[in-house]
Amino acid sequence: MSDIADLTAKTYEITRLIPYGKVTSYGHIAKLAGYPTYSRHVGNALKALPSNTDVPWQRVISSKGLISPRADLGLGVARQKDRLEQEGVEVETLMGGGEKVDLRRWGWFPESLDDL
C-alpha cells in the first residue's frame, strides 16, 4: 500500500475515534497517523468523502480552531458549523468573517493512539 493510501485509511480510522462533541486538527490526525507533515492530505482525504459517510468529518478543523473555508460559497462551512452545533460544540462567528471553535474547551488531542 502506498503512503498516501495508508494515510487516507488512517485518516478515516482516526477521525472515527474523535468523540461526539469534540474536535481535533488536520495536523493532529496526520501526527497520530505517523505522517506529521501531511495535514493538507488529511484535509484532501476528508474532502473526498461521499456525503453518506459514517466518518465524522465535521470534527476536524484547522490548528487555529477555524473551520476551513471551501470554494463552495461558504456552504460547506455553514454545513460543518451546523453539524458541530448539533453536537453541542460552540462555534463563534468572527468579526472579519470565519467560524472558530475554542480548542481548549472542545479539543481532542491524545498523545498517541495507544492512549485510546
As a whole number, mean pLDDT of residues 55-68 equals: 97
User: The pTM is what?
Assistant: 0.93
- Predicted pLDDT of residue 1: 66
Domain span at residue 42?
Answer: 3-115
Asked if pLDDT for residue 115 goes beyond 90, the answer is: no
Q: How many domains does the chain have?
A: 1
105 exposed, middle or buried (CB, 10 Å; 0-12, 13-18, 19+)?
exposed
pLDDT the model gives residue 71:
66
Could you give the percent of the chain with pLDDT greater than 70?
97
SS3 assignment, position 81: helix
pLDDT digits (tens, 9 = 90+) for 13-61: 999 999 999 999 999 999 999 999 999 999 999 999 998 999 999 999 9
CB 26 within 8 A of CB 62: yes
